[in-house]
Homo-oligomer: A and B are copies of this chain.
Amino acid sequence: MALIVQKFGGTSVASTDRIKNVAKRVARWKAQGHNIIVVPSAMSGETNRLIALAREISTTPDPRELDVIASTGEQVTIGLLALALKEEGLKAKSYTGPQVRVLTDSTYTKARILQIDDEKIRKDLDNGYVVVVAGFQGADENGNITTLGRGGSDTSAVALAAALTADECQIYTDVDGVYTTDPRVEPKARKLDTITFEEMLEMASLGSKVLQIRSVEFAGKYKVKLRVLSSFQEEGEGTLITVEEDKPMEQPIISGIAFNRDEAKLTILGVPDRPGIAYQLLGPIADANIDVDMIIQNVAKDETTDFSFTVNRGDYAKAMEILKATSEKLGARGVLGDDKICKVSAVGVGMRSHPGIASKVSAVGVGMRSHPGIASKMFNVLGQEGINIKMITTSEIKISVVVDEKYLELAVRVLHKAFDLDKAA
């Protein structure tokens, strides 16, 4: 008998019929003797509907009140799901985040979970209840209602699994697992049986929106066994997200090809090459609440340097305006921009066992073509297709390149093939 936390996303509970199906599924797990905690999201579309109501009243709604409004979506679902579980003949009881209680900080609309009181839940589990806990929400120390931000229900589920030392946290979603890349771009994409937390983090942040990043961090930190499964298929083991040491020996070096269409690139030319220059350039961007992704500073020549970075495409116009002002202030040679780019990344912890690959890339940049490794293979394959690489960054377990947006699908497919991802492991 295991203790399992099961999280069901918005599409899984989009209608009362789907909620009934979720209840049937939970009932089958319960019948196997497991203790179950279910964490549903709001019915799909509901959170957007609620936020739209708030925006009809205020273009910049007060975040405390926004959370009061938005948290009702999950509250409706927990009640409905508890009713559906009772219809299956189970004992069931629902709790909102504040009821549990899920204690968070006071950062409305993107609060962080500080602590979960497990007393009520444990007592109910001991008495044979399936416990339904609202995802996405909690309360701060003063009892104010908070929400965890988009996708926060994943984090709620993982945090509950950690607090109750559950045997597994199952994330039911509209895909049946994590794939080597997006099957809509490369039909030969394969479902992975396992992926490490770190790979998952890189995949998620790069656009494979299966799981909320924070929930993966949380699961990694608290060693929660996390599994991604399909809500709509009964069969299949999904993808298990593991710690690295659990990986089988024959694990391929590259686990997947991630990508992000939603990028734009900005370059400032000929800025003085002196300490503090990066802060002078990026400080005003951060102050405008614009997230910067890749950052590259070229080797200096004639005491000036060129500096490039990428932002979300939606922030491009704003970022460009700010950068132009900075350019004039610093007496830079000028500003360039391109919002028709995308980012493609090869991700895999296997890179770690090839010492020097990643570090060499970051040290010597594109000059490392001679290295018989991941990076050179990547650059070579793209070059053979005539795809020009505009920027490169690396981490310990990924290599990302920026290319013209029009090459996205082609780049993903050739890399998927080059790293043998279309073949069973």
Contact = CB atoms under 8 A, between A and B. Distances in A.
Interface stretch (A64-72, A177-185, A214-222, A278-286): A64-72
A98 B98 CA distance: 10
Interface in A6-27: 16, 19-20
A374 to B, nearest CB: 50
Interface string A77-103: 011101110110000011010110000
Given A62-B83, A99-B145, A20 B57 contact: yes
Contacts of A53: 16, 76, 80
Interface size class of A (residues with CB under 8 A): 35 or more
Contact of A79 (B20, B68, B75, B84): B68
Contacts of A98: 98-99
A62 B80 contact: no
A11 B308 CA distance: 55
A289 interface: no
A143 interface: yes
B78 A75 contact: no
A40 to B, nearest CB: 12
Interface string A42-59: 000000001001101110
Interface of A: 16, 19-20, 50, 53-54, 56-58, 61-62, 64-69, 71-72, 75-76, 78-80, 82-84, 86-87, 93-94, 96, 98-99, 143-145
